[in-house]
Amino acid sequence: MTASRAPLLLTACSLVISCRGSHERERADFERMRLQQRYTLYAASPSFANGQSMQSPPAGTVSREALATVPIVVTPQLLARGKDRFTIYCAVCHGAGGFGGSLVAENMGQPRPPSLRSQALLTRPVEYIFTVATAGKGRMPAYAPQLTASDRWAVASYVHALQSDTTRSTDDVKDSLMAEQIARIDSAAAAAAARRR
């Protein structure tokens, strides 16, 4: 008799446990968490004319951070930061050594990114590099969204240091060799175009 009751008891127990109380409050709480009354990333918003939930600051806004960093003091830390940012945002086109030998430069067609270590750029002040990084020049876009003002000063300082550096690292040699190769491609193409004409 007791043996036949055991499964019955087990079933009853599991039913009792599963029916303990009502979970209405917990369920409502979970739903409130699951579907929060907030904008998710890049969500559309009916409250703004442009329909975006993320709004840009008014045109011409200067960040407090930008005001606080001028004049800059060139330190090894600043140059290290400059090199780090340069590698991400500048070397893509201008090459790891700044000679203009990069895979992107090879693929993008003319006009190509110039060498940052040319004689013409060597005489430019560090402010010039900062301005170009901020506003862009020719085909180069503005890098103000990607780089904060202090990062742009760091990059400009690093580029300036790079220009005065006459030693050549392995990266520099690779970069300059590739830049020469791209220049050869361009001159060959120009010669071919001249022959056609």
Q: Give contact residues for another protein (rule: CB under 8 A).
A: 4, 7-8, 10-11, 14, 33-36, 38, 40-42, 52, 87-89, 92, 102-104, 107-110, 139-141, 145-146
Question: Residue 96 or 156: which CB sits closer to another protein?
Answer: 96
Question: Residue 125 or 141: which CB sits closer to another protein?
Answer: 141
Question: Residue 5 or 184: which CB sits closer to another protein?
Answer: 5
Instruction: Write down the least CB distance from residue 108 to another protein, Å.
Output: 5
Question: Residue 40 or 170: which CB sits closer to another protein?
Answer: 40
Instruction: Write down the least CB distance from residue 39 to another protein, Å.
Output: 10
User: b/e map of 47-76 (b: 16 or more CB within 10 Å)?
Assistant: eeeeeeeeeeeeeeeeeeebeebeebeeee
DSSP 39: P
Instruction: Write down the least CB distance from residue 197 to another protein, Å.
Output: 20
Integer CA distances (angstroms), 76 to 136, 164, 172, in order:
26, 15, 20
Hey, how many other C-beta atoms are within 10 angstroms of the C-beta on 176?
19
Instruction: Write down the least CB distance from residue 163 to another protein, Å.
Output: 23
Instruction: Write down the least CB distance from residue 34 to another protein, Å.
Output: 6
Hey, how many other C-beta atoms are within 10 angstroms of the C-beta on 6?
9
Instruction: Cite the beta strand spans of 22-181 per DSSP E.
Output: none
Q: Which one, of 91, 59, 58, lies nearest residue 162 by Cα?
A: 91
Question: Residue 23 or 122: which CB sits closer to another protein?
Answer: 23
